[in-house]
Structure 1
Amino acid sequence: MSAPEQPPRRVRVTSPRTSAARRMTAHTGTREIDEQTRVGEVYMSSLIQSQLRLALAVIAGAAVTLGGLPLLFLLVPATRTLPIFGIPLPWLLLGVLVYPVVYIAARIYVRNAERIEGEFTEFVGRK
């Protein structure tokens, strides 16, 4: 009769680096924002403030440009009745000039908003 077979002996396999120092995970800005930490709140409020400043500047520029037209008509009475191609100047300016001004203001806003967001993304990604 033969001796009963013994199960194979268990062997514990370990990494040779178990004694090495573990790497700390970097706290990136996106992680701070995702986890809604205080630092993430500061990042987001900074982005929102930058976008608000841009929006107010563009609105102010458009308002001064378009709001200055009635002031022009008030201060220079000859412009109220000055015909250009048979159309009174106020009608021409208010009917035609408004659209390019609004379009240019919108283009300026979009271009600068994209720049701000790109800089923010680059900054947060590096942190």
Structure 2
Amino acid sequence: MTDDFYRNVGGIREPDPTLGKSVQPEPAPEPVLPEPEPPPRVRRQRVVLAEPSRSAGSLRARVELEQQTSWGELLIKDLIKVQLRSGVALALLVLAVLGALPAVFFFWPSFTDLRFVGIPLPWLLLGVAPFPLLFGVGLWYNRLAERHERDFVDMIEN
């Protein structure tokens, strides 16, 4: 055997334990991950089939509506009548405003000669003004309809 195989330790020749083994770097320590947070506690919710806050009258009204009895139909017809009345009133308002423009042009011919920023005023009134008017009346009707529906639901539940 060769001298490379042995090492000299204190005058005694022993086999070199590192000989024949490949030298590898030490593995890097694994990163320590933080422990996952426990999921938030879910509050238990009590489920009640019949709410004590609701009166028997509101339950009766709901049953009348669901079963489409004569009283339930009367309630629905009343809601439809109120919605129709609002719609017709706002439609008449739009017709009155837009229908008055030709009358103004007929009775005051000098009105057609007026200009605004170089554009004839009748063109602006007939071509531009109706759109914001219709949009505003549409919003107004939508709010009225929602108010009538809220009143109807409040009447049924109380």
Which TM-score applies when normalising by structure 1?
0.76
Identity rate, percent: 36
Larger Rg: 2
More strand by share: 2
1:79 and 1:28 map into 2 onto residues whose CA distance is 62
* 1:85-118 C-alpha deviation (Å, 9 max, x unpaired): 1111110111111111101100110011000000
What CA RMSD, in Å, does the superposition of the two structures yield over aligned residues? 1.3
TM-aligned CA deviation for residue 39 of structure 1: 0.4
- The residue type equivalent to 1:82 in the other structure is L
Match of 2:152 in 1: 120
Number of aligned residue pairs = 102
CA distance in 1 between partners of 2:125 and 2:60 (Å)? 51
Question: 2:121 matched to which residue of 1?
Answer: 89
Which of the residues 142, 146, 156 maps onto 1:110?
Answer: 142
Q: How many Å separate the matches in 1 of 2:70 and 2:112?
A: 57
Return 5+ residue gaps in structure 2 as ranges. Answer: 1-55
- Runs (4+) of structure 1 exceeding 3 A deviation are none
Paired residue secondary structure (1:28): helix
- Provide the rounded CA distance (Å) in 1 between the counterparts of 2:93 and 2:145: 16
Query: Partner residue of 1:53?
Result: 85
Shift of 1:64: 0.6
State the Cα deviation string for residues 5-58 of structure 1 (Å, max 9, x = none): xxxxxxxxxxxxxxxxxxxx6552221111011100110000000000000001
Q: Secondary structure at the match of 1:36?
A: coil
Q: For 1:40 and 1:92, how far apart are their aligned partners in 2?
A: 49
Which structure has the highest helix share of the two? 1
Bigger mean CA deviation after superposition, 73-82 or 106-115 = 73-82
Give the alignment's TM-score, normalised by structure 2: 0.61
